Amino acid sequence: MYYRAVLIWFLFSILATLNGIMRNSFINPVIGEHNGHIVSTVILSLLIFFVTLSLIKWISPKNRKEAAGIGLLWVLMTIAFEFLAGHYLFGHSWDRLLADYDLAKGRFWVLVLIVTYFAPVWSAKVKKIN
């Protein structure tokens, strides 16, 4: 089950990368960086939810507690990747990486993490997995 969940997380990372390319290439030039960030965050959140909904039976959690464990795994992997790759591979400062979590400045990246955590639980409920 967790092996499948990790595979799905890699799919999310591809979708997130494509979403970022779309944001920088098409959305931001039209509506600006701040609004582009918001639109991109909503798009990625919806993609994560619908992919999870489509594949939750394949992932095959036995119950909602296991589904929550999958969500937690995905969030931890996302945060680890965001900070470790962001800092060590892409050279971003820790302050820049933390800035995406600043709700007071209109940064809504945390919505992606919330949806990522709850998507398996919500999907298990919709698909009637105990």
pLDDT, tens digit, for every residue of 3-53? Answer: 999 999 999 999 999 999 999 999 999 999 999 999 999 999 999 999 999
Residue 130 or 21, more confident? 21
What's the total number of domains in the chain? 1
63 sits in the region (left: phi over 0; alpha: psi -120 to 50; else beta) called: beta
Q: How many CB atoms are located within 10 Å of the residue 34 CB? A: 12
Q: Domain of 44?
A: 2-126
- 130 pLDDT higher than 80: no
Compute the distance between CA of residue 128 and CA of residue 81 in angstroms, rounded to an integer: 31
DSSP for 2-14? HHHHHHHHHHHHH
Give the relative orientation of helices 64-80 and 2-22 as an angle to the nearest 10 degrees.
Answer: 50
